[in-house]
Amino acid sequence: MTPSTTPPVDTLLHRTDELRKSLSGNFRDQLVHALYADAESIARRAVKPVGNRRWDWDQRLDRLVTSPLFGLPIMLLILAAVFWLTITGANVPSAMIANGLFWIEAQASALFTAWGVPWWITGFIWHGTYRGLAWVVSVMLPPMAIFFPCFTILEDLGYLPRVAFNLDWLFKKAGAHGKQSLTMTMGFGCNAAGVIATRIIDSPRERLIAILTNNFAPCNGRFPTLIMLATVFVAAAFPPAFASVAAAGSVVMVVLIGILFTLIVSALLSRTLLKGEASAFTLELPPYRRPNIGRILYTSLIDRTIFLLWRAIQTAAPAGAAIWVLGNLFVGGQSLAWHIANALDPLGLLIGLDGVILLAYVIAIPANEIVVPTMLMVYLGVGMMTDVPSYGALRELLIVQHGWTMLTAVNLMLFSLLHNPCATTIVTMWKETRSLKWTTIGALMPLGIAFLVTFITAAAARLLGWV
Q: What is the DSSP string of 95-119?
A: HHHHHHHHHHHHHHHHHHHHTT--H
Asked if the structure places residue 45 within a domain, the reply is no
Report the SS3 class of residue 220: coil
**What burial class does residue 184 get, using C-beta atoms within 10 Å of its C-beta: 0-12 exposed, 13-18 middle, 19+ buried?**
buried
pLDDT at 280: 63
Q: Which amino acid is at 211?
A: I
- Pair type for strands 330-331 and 334-335: antiparallel
Residues of the chain with pLDDT under 50: 1
Give the largest CA-CA distance in the chain.
Answer: 97
Asked if the structure places residue 61 within a domain, the reply is no
Q: What is the pLDDT of residues 337-374, one digit of tens each?
A: 999 999 999 999 999 999 999 999 998 888 787 888 89
pLDDT at 3: 53
Residue 286 · residue 163 · CB < 8 Å: no
pLDDT at 18: 73
pLDDT at 436: 95
Report the SS3 class of residue 335: strand
Asked if the structure places residue 453 within a domain, the reply is yes
Q: What is the pLDDT of residues 292-342, one digit of tens each?
A: 787 777 777 776 677 767 767 777 788 889 999 999 999 988 999 999 999
pLDDT at 141: 81
pLDDT at 10: 74
CA distances to 68, 438, 441 from 445, rounded to whole Å, are 34, 10, 5
Asked if the structure places residue 177 within a domain, the reply is yes
Distance from C-alpha of 168 to C-alpha of 180, rounded to nearest angstrom: 8
pLDDT at 155: 80
Strand partners, 335: 330
Range of the domain at 92: 71-282+300-463
pLDDT at 282: 64
Asked if the structure places residue 359 within a domain, the reply is yes
Cα atoms in the Cβ-side hemisphere of radius 13 Å centred on 27: 7
- Give the count of domains, the chain: 1
pLDDT at 6: 64
Q: Distance of alpha carbon 254 from its chain centroid, rounded?
A: 11
